[in-house]
Amino acid sequence: MKAKLGVSALVLLFLGGLWLVAAPFAVGYQPLGGAYVDATVNDLWLGGALAALSFSALVFYAADALRELTARDGLIAEHHSAPARHADS
């Protein structure tokens, strides 16, 4: 449950960062062809940093989950390949 909540929060942060990058152009407070206004520069830096950090955290989480699944699969394979011991031997 905690993992799903954490991943959901990271996805929302990533989408929020992407929105901050796109907002000046989607909403229209950045004039077309004009020099970037201060709000646009702020949104681009903050949104880019937020999206990059949250995406990096998602990649690290996925790598850790994959490592855990691989280790778990290795333990299961070891358990199944071990010779069975009988009580009478």
Total domains in the fold of the chain: 1
Comparison of pLDDT for 84 and 16, the residue scoring more: 16
User: What's the one-letter identity of residue 74?
Assistant: G
Q: Is 25 inside a domain boundary? A: yes
Stretch 1-9: mean pLDDT = 84
Provide the domain limits for residue 12.
2-80
Is 43 inside a domain boundary?
yes
Structure tokens at 70: 């691989």
The three-point CA angle 34-16-36 to 5° equals: 10
Spatial contact of 43 and 20, defined as CB atoms under 8 Å apart? yes
**74 is a domain residue:** yes
pLDDT tens digits, one per residue of 11-44: 999 999 999 999 998 998 888 888 999 999 999 9
